[in-house]
Amino acid sequence: MNTFNIASSIVYFTILLSVTLAALPAQPLAAVELEVICGSMYSGKSDLLISRIQRAQIAKKKVQLFKHALDNRYHDVDKINAHNGNTSSENAILVRNANDILSHLHNDTDIIAIDEAQFLDPKVVQVCQHLLHPSKASHCRRLSKIIIAGLDLDFRGEPFGPMPQLLAIAHKVHKLHAICVVCGRDDFTVTQRIVNGQPANYHDEIIMVGAKETYEARCRQCHDVLHSPHEYYLHTEKIE
């Protein structure tokens, strides 16, 4: 076989290989998983979120942390803080709305962690839906997981902000429970708001900024809300 024939054969096989590869179906991008951690206050949500972040960092994943700027209860406002004293090593980006998450996102991020998601606007659901479709989220192609923590119920015991929708679209859900501080039951708990030593009024604002209220974890039987329409239903046993 002379030099010309060898060169021709190489060109022929190169073209054949290119055509064969082009005919193969495109490799789909890896799915992005949404994991939601919910529960009442003192149920360990932020602690589980911090544990997830630490495990991802051990695996050398790039994690970006977000939390709502409203959550300024702790000295380390830039960190994700748990009630048991556990704190994230990385700083969180404080956001005021869901779009802020997209605008701060780096294109080499593997995992997004969001704390106190109940405070975010409903657009956070659209932001997650967008990121769950890798082809659409072309600016964030390494993203493999979004982990969200938040209160599923407000102080009235009713679904809180965007959490019901986030729970509905999640791949994995962790519903955590605290211990009821009144009866000690280790069961389903709701966040009890107390204002001046009294249970909060049903008609109070859902989010009270800078108020002097305190919070407890209570089971459903010990949870108390003044002027709650649910109490009316319980007494009349009639829902219209």
Of 25-33, 136-144, 169-177, 211-219, the window that binds Zn ion (rule: CB under 5 A) is: 211-219
Distance of closest approach, residue 224 Cβ to Zn ion, in angstroms: 10
Is 38 in contact with 149 (CB distance < 8 Å)? yes
The nearest distance, CB 164 to Zn ion, in angstroms, is 24
Cβ(125)–Cβ(13) below 8 Å: no
Nearer to Zn ion, 33 or 224 (CB): 224
213 an active-site residue? Answer: no
Nearer to Zn ion, 40 or 64 (CB): 40
Among 92, 131, 219, 225, binds Zn ion (CB under 5 A): 219
Min. distance of Cβ 208 from Zn ion in angstroms? 23
Q: In what order do the strands lie in the sheet with 111-115?
A: 93-95, 63-68, 111-115, 145-151, 33-39, 172-176
Identify the DSSP state of 92.
P
Residue of 35, 116, 213, 237 with catalytic role: 116
Which positions from 152 through 191 interact with Zn ion, judged by CB under 5 A?
Answer: 180, 182-183, 185
Our finding on whether 222 is near Zn ion (CB under 5 A) is: yes
C-beta of 174 vs 218, nearer to Zn ion: 218
Q: Which of these ranges, 112-120, 141-149, 171-179, 218-226, lies near Zn ion under the rule CB under 5 A?
A: 218-226
How far apart CA 64 and CA 205 sit, in angstroms, is 31
Instruction: Give the DSSP H or E segment for 230.
Output: helix 229-236
Give me the DSSP letters along 2-53.
-HHHHHHHHHHHHHHHHHHHHHSPPPPPPPPEEEEEEESTTSSHHHHHHHHH
Between residues 1 and 234, which has the closer beta carbon with respect to Zn ion? 234
Continuous segment of H or E residues that includes residue 189: strand 189-195
Q: How far is CA 235 from CA 172, 192, 202, 224, in A?
A: 37, 21, 17, 14
Supply the minimum distance, in Å, between the C-beta of residue 98 and Zn ion.
35
- Residue 206 is encoded by which pair of tokens? 């859902």
Binding window for Zn ion (CB under 5 A); candidates: 72-80, 113-121, 189-197, 222-230: 222-230
| Shortest distance (Å) from residue 190 CB to Zn ion | 10
Q: What distance in Å separates the CA atoms of residue 115 and residue 111, rounded to the nearest whole number?
A: 13
Give the residue with the Cβ less far from Zn ion, 186 or 205. 186
Of the ranges 57-65, 93-101, 117-125, 213-221, which one interacts with Zn ion (CB under 5 A)? 213-221
Residue ranges that bind Zn ion, judged by CB under 5 A: 180, 182-183, 185, 219, 222
User: Which residues are tagged catalytic?
Assistant: 116
